[in-house]
């Protein structure tokens, strides 16, 4: 083989991380061959022990790649033949690297996504902890990044928690759909030998075996779906990152991250930068890129296996790794965060954030909402043109004398009482729902 082709096509350099799942697949395959009478009990036992030994070599870091090992699958088979002789050479009976790699990658992805789900539940836990640590804290809620209405800090953070729980749910759905064993599909068309794909599927803990051998070896929709779910999770983390960047700026000054979660500047001694949040924001580019790249690779591929499919691995490995890095660091950052309760409160008690409460109290008196809205609009315009506090303008109105309490600090957030709203009463109910959703997600994961 030309050196340039070798360098183009070898995948051991990145797919060796699949060794554990590949050996799992091979052990099931070997037992399937014994079940089919293609290996005797002694041969089966020898191969299982040999595979365990090879796994131990990988675990210890003593496995040595031979020059001709193109990928992890060939490396393991070559080593098995070295160790077990002719019996090793029987291991690939009724199997192709095409069904082998598809099996290995499904097993890997199932585990990897479970790990991401667990780490996502950790950050959800950290968001809840922050809310508990600053009970009653509130801040302005924004639309268009303009102050809109006060919201409880916990309510704000739990908005992210709900997004992340949907990510966990999506990862669970993807895992359920990919829980199908391709082993036994062979190169593309199955085999004349009497193997039973359902038997090996059961041994590997898959829900079921493939129904169509060509589909089994040729589709990587499960990788694309994993990459979408990881990208979506990354997009959520990027929004949280952007928020932390804003909150920790001098302009907002709502929060500070613990020293161990900030970095200094090589030039400016006073700097305390929220790099963790910026990287959470920045990593998303490659997560989206990995998804797009694989979709383009898959587009237009004829049935069944094509070597293009080898391009599924690096994006998957990269997205899993990057998401895990961001999740761990952001979880730590939230746990280390101090929330500047008084600064946020002062911003949220800004008088115009009470405007809707004035209108809603008029509605309670029977004023049609549009008319109430218009009247409050006029009061605000008056406050702005005369440069007088809105509370004073309202106090000047004879029929609004009972409205003074609306301007009490925290009144506006306390009166957000409708189901799912941003105030403390509704929040208590939400917390119960949130904890139930977390328990359900954890149960599905285990
Ligand atoms: N390294 C290959 C991959 O990742 C394994 C399958 C190779 N199959 C083949 N027919 N060349 O897809």
Q: What is the CATH number of the domain that holds 214?
A: 1.20.200.10
Q: Which domain holds residue 310?
A: 98-195+210-346
Q: What is the per-residue pLDDT for 57?
A: 98
Q: Which residues line ligand 1 (CB under 6 A)?
A: 11, 71, 97-98, 101, 305, 307, 309-310
Q: Model pTM?
A: 0.96
- Whether residue 274 is contained in a domain is answered as yes
Average pLDDT, the chain: 96
Hey, which of 26, 76, 97, 216 would you mutate to test ligand 1's pocket, going by the most ligand atoms within 8 Å of its Cβ? 97
pLDDT number for residue 324: 98
Could you tell me if residue 430 is inside a domain? no
User: For residue 89, how far is its CA from the centre of ligand 1 (angstroms)?
Assistant: 19
Q: Which atom of ligand 1 is nearest to the CA of 309?
A: 12
Atom of ligand 1 nearest to the CA of 105: 4
Mean pLDDT value of segment 375-394: 96
Residue nearest to atom 12 of ligand 1 (CA): 310
β-partners of residue 147 are 142
Q: Is residue 376 part of a domain?
A: no
Q: Which of 14, 98, 189 to mutate to test the pocket of ligand 1 (most atoms within 8 A of CB)?
A: 98
110-136 pLDDT per residue, tens? 999 999 999 999 999 999 999 999 999
Q: Is residue 391 part of a domain?
A: no
Q: Please determine, for residue 268, whether its predicted confidence score (pLDDT) is greater than 90.
A: no
Task: Answer yes or no: do 51 and 174 share one domain.
Answer: no
From 70, 71, 105, 186, give the residue whose CB has the most ligand 1 atoms within 8 Å, as the site to mutate.
71
Do 130 and 156 reside in the same domain of the chain?
yes
First to last CA, the chain: 47
Ligand 1 mean position to 38 CA, how many Å? Answer: 24
DSSP 29-89: HHHHHHHTTSS-HHHHHHHHHHHHHHHHHHHHT-----TT--SHHHHHHHHHHHHHGGGGG
Sign of the alpha-carbon dihedral angle for 381, 387, 389, 392: negative
Name the closest-CA residue to atom 7, ligand 1: 97
Same domain, 276 and 244: yes
In a domain, 351, yes or no: no
383 occurs within a structural domain: no
138, 153 contact by CB (below 8 A): yes
Residue where one domain finishes, among candidates 66, 93, 120: 93
| 145 class by beta-carbon count within 10 Å (0-12 exposed, 13-18 middle, 19+ buried) | exposed
Q: How many domains does the chain have?
A: 2
**d(CA 98, ligand 1 centre) in Å:** 6
In a domain, 356, yes or no: no
Q: Kindly give the residue spans of alpha helices, DSSP state H, lying in 337-368.
A: 341-348, 355-364
CA nearest ligand 1 atom 2, residue: 310
- Asked whether residue 173 is domain-assigned, the answer is yes
Identify the bridge partners of residue 180 per DSSP, sorted by sequence position.
208
Which atom from ligand 1 is nearest to the alpha carbon of 71?
A: 1
Ligand 1 centre and the CA of 144: distance in Å? 50
Catalytic residues: 144, 265
**Range from 35-44, 260-269, 308-317, 338-347 carrying the lowest mean pLDDT:** 260-269
Residue 346 pLDDT: 96
Regarding whether 115 and 89 lie in a shared domain, the answer is no
Which ligand 1 atom is the nearest neighbour of the CA of 72? 1
CA quadruple 384, 385, 388, 392: dihedral sign: negative
Could you give the angle at which helices 313-336 and 275-282 cross, rounded to 10 degrees?
A: 150
Taking the C-alpha atoms of residue 443 and residue 438, their distance in angstroms, rounded to an integer, is 8
Question: Residue 281 — pLDDT band, cuts 50, 70, 90?
Answer: very high
Q: Which atom of ligand 1 is nearest to the CA of 305?
A: 10
Among the listed residues 30, 63, 69, 73, the one whose alpha carbon sits nearest the alpha carbon of residue 49: 30
Neighbouring residues of 57: CB distance < 8 A, sequence distance ≥ 6:
63, 79
The secondary element (H helix, E strand) that includes residue 396 is helix 390-396
* C-alpha–C-alpha distance, residues 46 and 78, integer Å: 15
Q: Give yes or no: residues 264 and 328 share one domain.
A: yes
9 and 122: one domain? no
Nearest-angstrom CA–CA distance, 158 and 245? 18
Are both 157 and 281 inside the same structural domain? yes
Q: Report the percentage of the chain scoring pLDDT > 90.
A: 96
According to DSSP, the β-strands at 180-181 and 208-209 are: parallel
User: Atom 4 in ligand 1: which residue has the minimum CA distance?
Assistant: 310
309 CA distance to ligand 1 centroid (A)?
8
φ, ψ dihedrals at 256, nearest 5°: -130, 140
Q: What is the pLDDT of residues 231-259, one digit of tens each?
A: 999 999 999 999 999 999 999 999 999 99
CATH of the domain at 74: 1.10.275.10
Checking if the pLDDT of 270 tops 90, the result is no
**In this structure, which long-range contacts are made by residues 401-405, counting pairs with CB atoms below 8 Å and at least 24 apart in sequence?**
403/358, 403/361
Last residue of a domain, one of 93, 112, 129: 93
Kindly state whether residues 179 and 261 are assigned to the same domain.
Answer: yes
Residues 6+ apart with CB under 8 A from 224: 291, 294, 295, 298
Are residues 189 and 77 part of one domain?
Answer: no
Same domain flag for 80 and 110: no
Report the separation in Å between the CA atom of 145 and the middle of ligand 1, taken as the mean of its atom positions.
Answer: 50
Nearest residue to 209 via CA among 75, 55, 300, 103 = 103
Query: Same structural domain for residues 314 and 275?
Result: yes
**Confidence band (pLDDT; 50, 70, 90) for 269?**
confident
């Amino acid at each position: 083989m030309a050196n340039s082709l070798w360098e183009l096509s070898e995948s051991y350099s990145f797919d060796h991380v699949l060794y554990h799942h590949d050996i799992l697949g091979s052990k099931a395959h070997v037992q399937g061959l014994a079940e089919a009478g293609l290996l005797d009990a002694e041969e089966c036992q020898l191969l299982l022990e040999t595979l365990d030994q090879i796994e131990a070599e990988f675990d210890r870091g003593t496995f040595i790649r031979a020059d001709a090992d193109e990928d992890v699958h060939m490396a393991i088979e070559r080593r098995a033949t070295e160790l077990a002789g002719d019996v090793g050479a029987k291991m690939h009976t009724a199997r192709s690297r095409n069904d082998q790699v598809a099996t290995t990658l499904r097993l890997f992805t199932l585990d990897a996504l479970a790990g991401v789900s667990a780490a996502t539940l950790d950050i959800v836990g950290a968001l809840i902890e922050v809310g508990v640590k600053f009970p009653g804290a509130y801040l302005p809620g924004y639309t268009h990044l303009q102050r809109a209405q006060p919201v409880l800090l916990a309510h704000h953070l739990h908005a992210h928690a709900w997004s992340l729980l949907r990510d966990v749910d999506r990862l669970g759905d993807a895992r359920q759909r990919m829980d199908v064993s391709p082993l036994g599909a062979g190169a593309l068309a199955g085999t004349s030998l009497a193997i039973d794909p359902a038997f090996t599927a059961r041994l590997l803990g898959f829900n079921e075996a493939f129904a169509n051998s060509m589909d089994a070896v040729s589709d990587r929709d499960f990788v694309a779906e994993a990459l979408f779910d990881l990208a979506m999770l990354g997009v959520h983390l990027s929004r949280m990152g952007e928020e932390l960047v804003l909150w920790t700026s001098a302009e907002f000054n709502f929060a500070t991250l613990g020293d161990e979660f900030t970095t200094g500047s090589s030039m400016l001694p006073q700097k305390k930068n929220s790099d963790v949040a910026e990287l959470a924001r920045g990593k998303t580019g490659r997560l989206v890129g990995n998804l797009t790249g694989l979709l383009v690779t898959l587009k237009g591929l004829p049935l069944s296996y094509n070597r293009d499919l080898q391009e599924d691995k690096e994006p998957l490995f990269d997205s899993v790794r990057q998401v895990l890095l961001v999740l761990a660091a952001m979880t730590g950052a939230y746990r280390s965060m101090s929330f500047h309760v008084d600064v946020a409160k002062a911003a949220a008690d800004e008088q115009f954030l009470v405007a809707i409460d004035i209108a809603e109290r008029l509605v309670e008196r029977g004023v049609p909402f549009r008319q109430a809205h218009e009247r409050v609009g006029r009061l605000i315009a008056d406050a702005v043109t005369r440069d007088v506090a809105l509370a004073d303008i309202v106090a000047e109105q004879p029929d609004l004398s009972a409205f003074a309490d609306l301007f009490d600090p925290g009144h506006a957030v306390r009166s957000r009482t409708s189901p799912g709203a941003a105030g403390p009463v509704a929040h208590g109910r939400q917390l119960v729902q949130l904890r139930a959703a977390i328990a359900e997600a954890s149960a599905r994961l285990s």
